[in-house]
Every structure is written in structure tokens, then in C-alpha cells.
Copies of this chain bind each other. A is one copy, B any other.
Amino acid sequence: MSLAPVIDPKGMSNVRVHISSSLDGYVAGPNQSQEEPLGEGGEGLHDWLVELRAWREPQGLEGGAVNASTAVVAETFENVGAEIMGRGKFGPANRGPWGDDPWQGWWGDDPPFHKPVYVVTHYEREPLTLSDTTYTFVTDGIESALAQAREAAGDKDVFIGGGADLINQYLAAGLVDEIELHVVPILLGGGARLFDGVGQDVKLELLRVVEAPGVTHLKYRVVH
């Protein structure tokens, strides 16, 4: 096991994915809704995370565990200059035009991103700035979103934050360099499935495994 940064053979910043997955491959359970953003049973995907001090401290919460996941979580924040997310991560599943009183994201007035966020959507909308996070809404596709995020990130990496649909689109397009799965030993039986529709063309190479309480972190490089 090594937590050393991956050498980037392209001399460009990396496009990185990391996401919690059930053992049956779902990153959200069935029937996602405003009440249950991660679907039925989906909260169980983050049990390993929310008990960590590394997660609690930035939210202003006391206490929390320090274990083998701590360094993994710290690493996920390191060297990330911009995030891209799908509309399904930004807001609840009822889609359509944004309307007069548009959704402001799940994260309140002081979002935890502290970096530019690009939201891929079919519906135009002006950028939204909350504290030090600006959400830019991108309607001309995933390649445009990546170009904008790369520009904003400079030398730093771009993080594809989910949901599954968006990650699968980036994987199928061959645009992801690194993917870390936080594999949680639960079955969700349905919902949003990672790798769905990606096909056989993506080749991966295991970089490292970290075994931690309630989760196994599997980090892969995508071989281009």
C-alpha cells in the first residue's frame, strides 16, 4: 500500500473519480427522492465516512474516528482544483427547467467544495455563487464541462463527483484517469449502478488496496 501521488504520464492534470459503492455495484439505492437523496438504504454507503474525524471536523463537528480511511479521505481532497457533477447529484431527481425559485444545491449557504463546481444539465441557468463556491451550469455536454473545469483547475486535478450516470459517461468516453471505489459490504439491490453501459473497452490496473473499518478502498488507474 502506498499513498504516494500517482505519476502522471501525460504531463496533464488527472481526471479523478472516487465514490462509495455497495458490493453489488450501486452508488445510490432504489427510489432516490428529496427525502432520501441516496435512495432506500443508500445512507449505509457513507457509514464508514461520517464517523471519521476527517469528515466531521470540516463540518464543525466534534470527535470522530481516526483509522486507515483517514489518509484515503485526506488524499481525495488533495490537489483537486475543480469538480464536475451531474444535476442528479446537485439536486433531487425531479428534473425539468429550473423555474423561478431554483434549487440551490443540497449543501446550504456555505458548501463544502471551496472550489469551482460545474453542473452538467440540460437546462440553462446563470452561475450561482454561495460563499467561496461558484456553481456553473453547463448545457453543452461532458467534454465542454471538462474543458471548463480543466481551465479553472490549472495544474490541479479535476474530480468527477457523480452520480453514476455522469461517471459512466466520462468512463465510456475514455476521459477518466483514476477511479477509487470505497466498497461497502452491503447490498442495495437496485438504484444507480456504476459502470452500467460502459462496456468492455475500459481497461483498469489496480494501484492499491486499503482495508479499513466498514469499507475497502480499491484504487485503479484507467489504462489509455
Chain A residues proximal to chain B, CB less than 8 Å: 23-25, 29, 40-41, 181, 183, 185-189, 194-206, 208-209, 211, 216, 218, 220
Complex contact B220–A185 (CB within 8 A): yes
A204 to B184, CA, bound (A): 9
Complex contact B206–A198 (CB within 8 A): no
Tell me how many chains of this kind the complex includes: 2
Our pick among B41, B199, B211 for the contact of A200 (Cβ within 8 Å) is B41
Complex contact B195–A24 (CB within 8 A): yes
Complex contact B204–A198 (CB within 8 A): no
Complex contact A204–B189 (CB within 8 A): no
Complex contact B199–A189 (CB within 8 A): yes
Known contacts A24-B25, A25-B24, A25-B25; is A187 also within 8 Å of B199 by CB? yes
Residues from chain B with Cβ under 8 Å of A23 in the complex? 181, 195, 204, 220
Residues from chain B with Cβ under 8 Å of A41 in the complex? 200
Q: Which B residue sits closest to A217, measured CB to CB?
A: B209
A20 to nearest B CB, angstroms? 14
Residues from chain B with Cβ under 8 Å of A29 in the complex? 200
